Amino acid sequence: MAAGAAGMVLGRPLEPWDFGSTADIFKTIPQDLLAELCGQIIQYLQCQIPGVNTVELCQRFQAAGIEIIASDLAKVVNVVSSVFSTAAKDNLSTEELSMRLGSAVGTLPKQALQVIRHVWNEQGKSITGSEDAKSRGMVGQLIDFQWKLGVAVGSDSCRSLKCPYVTMAIKVADASGHVTSKSFEMTVPQFQNFYSQFKEMASVLETV
């Protein structure tokens, strides 16, 4: 069903997207690479991939001579993911999506709008009405989890030499699909408490 007027879908007023300064970042991305990025976001919303690795994409973009940093590319991922997940939730047609994009705050470059419209027209049906796409617009996902045991020479929490500690490394995709890696250290007592909490969760899950 087509929108009755700009800013309305099925009779409901819509809040305009606010692209803000992100519009300037879109100008630096060629259409073919933006189409690839949009395709990966669709795959993420389809649960075909765990997330969009902006660090890896940034390296590829830079190798192609595009001056862009990972944090700026992450903003683009956040914007496009928000557009697609909202379009899926509201069951927008290509024409309705174009109307909303046209009335957005901080209008995107024409080339970027064409790419987003084209990708949605070709692949949008695969996530329209999808519960996975809706849920992925609200929560993130744990992609990888690793740990290793080490021995500290000395620290604020460990005064004695050769005190063991555990290094945790996790990789997560936020609600938009942007992948980040985090690492932190825990003392053995902290790790034991961490383990007991996970064991308790596992026990609860077994009873569900």
pLDDT at 178 over 90: no
Contact indicator for 30, 121 with CB cutoff of 8 Å: no
Same domain, 158 and 194: yes
Closest CA to 177 of 71, 47, 89, 69: 47
Same domain, 12 and 34: yes
Q: Which pairs from 198-203 meet CB under 8 Å and 24+ separation?
A: none
SS3 206: helix
Same domain, 27 and 69: yes
Same domain, 127 and 155: no
Contact indicator for 101, 124 with CB cutoff of 8 Å: no
Query: What is the per-residue pLDDT for 102?
Result: 81
pLDDT over 70 for what percent of the chain? 77
Same domain, 129 and 147: no
Same domain, 58 and 155: no
pLDDT at 175 over 70: no
Same domain, 100 and 156: no
pLDDT at 164 over 50: yes
Same domain, 109 and 148: no
Domain boundary (105, 136, 167) is at 136
Domain boundary (111, 136, 161) is at 136
pLDDT at 83 over 80: yes
- Domain-embedded: residue 3: no
Angle at 33 between CA 120 and CA 70, to 5 degrees: 105
Q: Supply the pTM of this predicted model.
A: 0.61
pLDDT interval class at 126 (50, 70, 90): confident
- Domain-embedded: residue 1: no
Same domain, 102 and 151: no
pLDDT over 90 for what percent of the chain? 17
pLDDT at 118 over 90: yes
- Domain count of the fold of the chain: 2
Q: Which pairs from 172-176 meet CB under 8 Å and 24+ separation?
A: 172/51, 172/140, 172/141, 172/142, 172/143, 173/44, 173/50, 173/51, 173/52, 173/140, 173/141, 173/143, 174/140, 175/81, 175/136, 175/137, 175/138, 175/139, 175/140, 176/52, 176/77, 176/78, 176/81, 176/82
Q: Which domain holds residue 198?
A: 141-207
Query: What is the per-residue pLDDT for 5?
Result: 37
Stretch 180-208: mean pLDDT, rounded? 82
Same domain, 63 and 20: yes
